[in-house]
Amino acid sequence: MSQPVLPNPNNFLAVALVINRSRDGPNFVFHYPPQVRPPHSQPGQSQDGSPPEPRDADDALLERLNEPVSSLDDPVDPSSSSGHPPPHGWDDHRFTENGAQIVPWEHVAGFPTRDLASILTPGRSYHKKLFQLSLDPLYCVSCPIHVPESGIWKKKKTKKPDQAKSVRTEDAITTPSDIDLARQGAHASSTNGGETSQPEQKDKDKDKDKDRDKDRDRDGDRSDEVDDKRASMTMFNLVFILHPRKYQVKELVATLYLNIIRKVSKAYKYSQQSSDFVWKESKRIIALKEKGREERWKMGTLWTEILSSSSLAASVQDIYEAVSQNRIAALQLDTAAGPLTPSVQIPVPFYVADLPPDGEEGQRGLWLTSANSFISEDSLDEPGFLDRNFALLLMEDERKIIAELQADPDPTTAAMVEFVRLSKPTQSFYQVGQSNVLSLSQVRKYAQHFIFWRRAIAIPPLHARDVYILSPNCDTRRLPRASVEWQKTFPLAPPLTNFLAELSYAPRPYKHFCPSKAHRSTYLLMLAWLMRGGWVTQLCTFAYVVVWPEIQYEVEYQLEAEELRRAEEGPASGTSIPSSSFESSEDPHRPFGDDAHVPTINEQAAEQARLERIAEKTQREAAEKASAHALKVVPTATAHPSVNNAPHLAHMTPHIILDAKKATGKESLYMSAIARRLNDEKLAKAWHGFCKYFNGKSALERIALQEDMKRKEAWTLLTAMSEHLMVVRHW
Amino acid sequence: MIQGIFYARFLLQQGPKIVAQSPPDCIVTPTSVSSSNNQALSPTAPTTTGATTTAPAPAPAPKPPLIDFDVLREYIIPRKAFCNRFITVQDPEGRYAVLGFPVLITHAKYPRNEFIFNFGLVLDADAEQASYERVVRRLAVTFAEMEKQDEYLSQQETEDWSRRGYGLGGCYRGGAGAGGGGAGAGAGAGSSTCAGEEKAIVGGVKKVGGERRPIESLLEIVREDLNNYGECMIPVDDANTINMKLFPHHPPPPLVKGWHVPVAKTKLASLVDPTWDLTLQKVIAHIDGVSDVRRIAFQADVSLDLATLALRHLLRYDVILLLDLFFFGSCYAPRAHGIHDFVADADGMQDECAAYVSCGPVKVPRFRLVRLMTSFCVGKSVMEWIRGHQEDGFDVLRFVDVRRLVQFGVIKGCLYRVHKYVVSKQYLAALATGQARPAGGDPLQKYTDGCHSFDQIITEQNLSDAEIMERLKHLPLPNGDLTVFYR
């Protein structure tokens, strides 16, 4: 299992906006961060501690190509400007000997922006498609947007007035795909289209306003179109400059393109179409840069100026800052038609199903669980399965989230606030839905929303009787800071390290760590805190059915007896079939006519003899079987079949049924044989009810939730069955 | 799989242009190659002779080109700033990737002082590019060197052009000796377009005197050999041979630490031959599945760094794997998916296990193995686990090699090692405030941040578990400051 490749400041260097104009040609409008390291100058050791990629002799030779050919007779003047990129990290303007000005922002990652602008403005065939260009060692990835063939960005007003809205809705649907959600917490089963994110909802409202605006200035339309023509921006391209490791290129590019690049480009396209936003902002940035060039501003000064005066530039900054840290990028585009606030993110898994291999530290600190990965298709189809098995764990302080929600005037937030108040990590969604405040479907919808926007995760409900251990996947590098936070949040609790150590020694139900019942609720809060940080994981119990030799023998014996009985009853009917067929062949009025072969007397006699022989043989065999069976030890049920070491069982080994629910044939006979052994009627009934959990993948701890039982009752039943179960305990 | 291979040039009058390609229709259709040739030449020279001598007979039904050269030409022959580096680009449909290394040679002997060319490949977009990058780089470096040394590429053009009766003598002013000769020869050929004479002239130009392969056929061999055999060895002329091989690209192997225990996956001794690296040979001799890296380094009389490096090399080729140190006092616990696979006997794991771990006269029955494997648990050391089974009436040690059982579990992903750590609150507090290293010279102090397992301390400090605990007790720390935890 390899970890997903996510952007980080090492493999994601910059975002740049490039436009092309029909008259003035390509222009490198803006990039962020201002100083892009040329990748050669970065330290050889990357974060994961592996050495730089090996180079071979060819590289050394190729490097010579870049050196001026001074040894040859008539060298070309080596002072051509492109040959010498300025050193990295300078902020100020410089001048060459012949007086040419070198502007700090006119080189990005060692390339002159003039050349970059030209190579990063691909033709129309790349419109809304993946444009992927590598300039060793950089990768430039983007989704170029071209002006419609008509040459006019703004959509014609003759179209339906809600056309603008449809753009957004399409976006909203594509944002959280079902797959993403399934990966997130396997919660997407019940509803799917309902995922309307909060910012996008806002967008839609804004869009409606905008439509109204548009209608209002319909008469000013014609002059607008002329303006558009004059602007003559033929395309724009938001380029993501990456520096991935060789074997990660594809994955990184695909992740970024699907989740970020395409969506941001789409949002920009929408803003450009609705209010000429990209071009107007670009014009402003270009003008500022020109001014900065003339007045020789320092790069830092200019960038502050641009970022404060252009929301487009600010959004580029937001994208870089958020995406390179793999956070949610919440953009704010102050278009003339009102602000647009799209949000983009790369969905991250909030759990891992297995320990990452040694040395891969990327997923350290994630919640380790098989609760999500062991869900079978069948149980997903089962109504209410997820609702009963999962609870919401907020990733931040409840009060903080509520305050944020209340700051939003949107009417839906009131219900969300209620949801946040009601949701407790100890209560399953089903239980939350039982309160009369929110319907189950609302609960599901909000839970998905919170989970998608990383405000919460879905976990099996916490319970003081369950066993929690220090997670083998916890990130101990975070201990120093976490200890401080813990101390602040729970000043009276034992120190974090001691508490974790306690949990790590011997697995015990969580309530044993709690000094008294009065502390129970605080201790559950502490548990939720530990869960959030991935410090602990639940130690669950998984079971398989073991069929002991005694049971196997019993079933075999009965099967044999059954067979013999049938054989005794059967001989008449068994021989009648061949004889009747023989008779039918004797029939002179056969429909098949003359050319069919009529058996002669001899043949008939031979056939008769043959049949007799067969019958004799089966009879003999049956008799042998019956006598053998009669010799066998009659099965006797002992109280504890697991320790029955009677000699007639010695050659048999216990049998494990992997999935009791899917048991067929002999295995299902075993299952009912075991059920007969459970003397209590209630127990026998429970055996049939519970057998679907005996597959080594369903935690026995969750049976009570699933069957709507008291935990104690469920455990009593399970204990009574334990002789026939083999258990294994893991996360 | 190389779908296409091409040689592109920046020509003065025509701009970027595909000069040679294989298969013939992969980038531009052959007719357009020759027709554009003619167009370029026509202003000054009559086209009749040129077209007939060079253009191959057009294919009966030319397939459409793989990529649209007009769209991609900017990335095949890019601006000067992007020359002399490896460049790849995907076509708009996302079907193919073009890998190239545009080379720019600056020298006064060339028109406009520049000679720009690119040998590129067209691959399926989802193909593994890393191994082909080497190919592109090798082609670039070889031909760049050959061009620099004896104008291999520019010469060929001169000949081609001269064959068409288009004298280029004036274009090349002076230059190195060979260049001068070439220019002269080109002019000579221009006056008499006789095929027989031409060969002689070529021989004259190439001082070595060998026959020269046209680039088109060279490309074809490269493509076919690499596609069919994964390597090629092509004599370009008497002095130069292109050797190329496709190597699979592996991600870097994980780091090897001193406390890891390497286990051979194959019979290393049978692989080794005396030409191998000496350190590697020494190290391999001590890989026994029990010794940790530090011990191996010591026994092999090799520095730890070198031993680590050697083992990492073996790891790259996937002939060893790394385990933890085995102690009866340490603890192992089941992993969710692996243990389920074991119970389900995926890939006949149980029989494999029985064969590996049985040490008594009989093979351990499979059910017993499942029992043993599933009864590991957090908080139970191997010792306690053994005792548990003994009480159950099964003397584990008589029938099972416990170390092998545990290692089998770890290798197959059924078990994981629960490591032991020590953490000091004081040290954590110091780290939280940003003090990297609190004062105090005890060598054990640096391990008390909860990130260093006892395995590491044991190997690095050469102490036993008990000794470490004893030493920790004597650290000058407030009472209750140290905590041991298991993870």
pLDDT at A571 over 70: no
DSSP track, B62-80: PPPPSS-HHHHHHHHS--G
Q: What are phi and psi of A162, to 5 degrees?
A: -90, 15
- From the list B346, B351, B386, the residue with the least C-alpha distance to B366 is B351
H or E stretch at B284: helix B278-284
Whether a cis peptide bond, with omega within 30° of 0, leads into B23 is yes
d(CA A60, CA A40): 14
Which of A44 and B333 is assigned the larger pLDDT? B333
Q: Are B424 and B451 in contact (CB under 8 A)?
A: no
Residue A322, burial from CB neighbour count under 10 angstroms (0-12, 13-18, 19+) = buried
Checking if the pLDDT of A343 tops 50, the result is yes
Q: Mean pLDDT throughout A544-548?
A: 91
- How does the average pLDDT of chain B come out, rounded? 80
Residues of B in contact with A71 (CB under 8 A): none
Question: Could you tell me the CA-to-CA distances from B340 to A353, A373, A671, B345, B465 in Å, in that order?
Answer: 13, 13, 21, 8, 32
Q: Tell me whether residues A118 and B74 touch, CB distance under 8 A.
A: yes
Q: Who's near A620: CB < 8 A, 6+ residues apart?
A: none
pLDDT tens for each residue of A244-286? 888 888 889 999 999 999 999 999 999 988 888 898 899 899 9
Binned at pLDDT 50, 70 and 90, residue B439 comes out as: low
Pairwise CA distance, residues A294 & A309, whole Å? 19
Residue with structure tokens 């020109």?
Answer: A290
Q: Alpha-carbon distance A275 to B352, whole Å?
A: 69
pLDDT tens digits for range B318-332 = 899 999 999 999 999
d(CA B121, CA B97): 8
Residue A71's pLDDT band, with cuts at 50, 70 and 90, is very low
- Mind listing the pLDDT tens digit for each residue in A377-434? 666 666 677 788 888 888 888 888 888 888 877 777 888 888 888 888 888 888 888 8
- Report how far residue A317's alpha carbon sits from residue B30's, in angstroms, rounded to the nearest whole number: 48
3-class state of residue A30 by DSSP: strand
Q: H or E element: which one contains B11?
A: strand B2-11
Which H or E run includes B293? helix B293-300
| Largest Cα span, chain A | 125
Whether A62 contacts chain B with CB within 8 A: yes
Distance from CA of B142 to the nearest CA of A (A): 9
Give the pLDDT score at A175: 38
Which of A539, A728, A729 has the highest number of chain B CBs within 10 A, making it the mutation to test binding with B?
A728
Using CB atoms, pick whichever of B94, B255, B343 lies closest to residue A658: B343
How far is the C-alpha of B148 from the C-alpha of B153, rounded, in Å?
9
Q: Which one-letter DSSP state was computed for residue A261?
A: I
What CA–CA distance (Å, rounded) separates B205 from B157?
13
- CB atoms A246 and B130 under 8 Å: yes
A474-493 as b/e: b if 16+ CB within 10 A: bbbebbbebbeebbeebeeb
Q: Is A86 on the interface with B (CB under 8 A)?
A: no
- Average per-residue pLDDT in chain A? 77
Mutation target vs A (from B90, B101, B107; most A CBs, 10 A cutoff): B90
- Rounded to two decimals, the pTM is 0.76
Residue of B nearest to A481 (CA): B432
Q: How far B166 CA lies from chain A's nearest CA (Å)?
A: 27
pLDDT, average across residues A131-146: 90
Give me the DSSP letters along B170-196: TTS-S-SHHHHHHHHHHHHHHH---HH
pLDDT at A570: 63
Angle at B99 between CA B96 and CA B103, to 5 degrees: 150
| Amino acid making up residue B192 | S
Higher pLDDT residue, A65 or A443? A443
For residue A565, the tally of other CB atoms under 10 A from its CB is 11
Give me the percent of chain A exceeding a pLDDT of 90.
16
Query: Which residue blocks in B382-424 are alpha helix, DSSP H?
Result: 382-391, 396-399, 402-411
Please report the pLDDT score of residue A208 as a whole number: 45
The string of pLDDT tens digits covering residues B3-35 is 999 999 988 888 888 888 888 878 887 554 444
What ipTM was assigned to the predicted interfaces of this complex? 0.76
Number of C-beta neighbours around residue B78 at 10 A: 25
A602, two tokens: 């001899």
Is the omega angle on the peptide bond into residue A137 within 30 degrees of 0, that is, cis? yes
Q: How far apart (Å, rounded) are the C-alpha atoms in residues B333 and B382?
A: 10
Give B133 or A619, the one with higher predicted confidence: B133
The 10 Å Cβ neighbour count of residue B42 is: 12
**Nearest-angstrom CA–CA distance, A704 and B240:** 78
Token reading at A30: 């803006």
For residue B126, name the pLDDT band (cuts at 50, 70, 90). Answer: confident
A247 vs B89, B251, B418: nearest CB:
B251
Do residues A63 and A339 make contact, with C-beta atoms less than 8 angstroms apart?
Answer: no
Going B199 to B205 to B208 to B214, the CA torsion angle's sign is negative
Rounded CA gap, A406 and A416, in Å? 9
**Cβ distance of B486 and A539 shorter than 8 Å:** no
Within 8 A of B379 by CB-CB distance, chain A residues are 469, 504-507
* Eight-state DSSP code of residue A467: B
Banded model confidence at residue B38, pLDDT cuts 50, 70, 90: very low
Distances (CA, A) of A591 to A296, A570, A598, B146: 111, 32, 13, 92
Pairwise CA distance, residues A508 & A485, whole Å:
25
Report the residue from B89, B249, B367 with minimal CB separation from A246.
B249
